[in-house]
Chains A and B, each alone.
Chain A
């Protein structure tokens, strides 16, 4: 079974509108972390936001917020006031296990969602 599922291969949004990118995850480990990365066509992976499994509040970073619903095992990314520069591939990823040892920082990625922002 896939550990990270992104069901939207592609999404379109009008400039200045908000968009939600879906991500569901599967783990039996009580300690985990969820990440969202943006990958433009140049290939670099740009860190956007992080949510820990024990965090009580949803993470926010500027125009990015993570809608964390633990019982449903979902971690959707919300981008407010979309900009043309937001057009890129977006990946949801998960780290499992406690922080003991650096090896617990390997990530499992979803297949990604290609976001296109229209003017």
Chain B
């Protein structure tokens, strides 16, 4: 089946630095990908919709300058957490829809970010 891959799976960065997380659709093209954030023992909250070739659409309350999203190709979207702070520590996970297979929305493996 379709696979969405995220990298890195775990990252530790120092406060004030930036970190980039990649989301790739491995065997299908995804014009739209989605980025979610999940705090421990909580549900997934949509952060933004990543659109290939255009600007991302951010959900209310999500700082677009803080969480930079770039959808450079039909198979790659990146999320960059800029000037990271400890409160940005979280689980970030992306999803994409395979138009060919229809309704299924696939998720990446997720990325655990720890800011120290």
Contacts and interface: CB of A to CB of B under 8 A. Distances in A.
A43 B32 contact: no
Given A103-B32, A107-B46, A107-B105, A43 B91 contact: yes
A107 B103 CA distance: 12
B103 A52 contact: yes
Given A33-B103, A37-B107, A105 B43 contact: no
A25 interface: no
B57 interface: yes
B95 A107 contact: yes
Interface stretch (A13-21, A62-70, A108-116): A108-116
B88 interface: no
A35 B105 contact: yes
- The size class of the interface chain B forms with chain A is 20 to 34
* Interface majority SS (helix, strand, loop, mixed), chain B: strand
A72 interface: no
A105 B30 CA distance: 11
B93 interface: yes
B109 A44 contact: yes
A105 B42 contact: no
A5 to B, nearest CB: 11
A101 B34 CA distance: 13
Interface of B: 30-32, 34, 38, 42-46, 49, 51, 57, 91, 93, 95, 97, 103-110, 112
Interface of A: 33, 35, 37, 42-47, 50, 52, 91, 93, 95, 101-103, 105-112
Given A44-B109, A109-B43, 7 more contacts: A43-B38, A47-B104, A52-B103, A93-B44, A102-B51, A107-B34, A107-B44
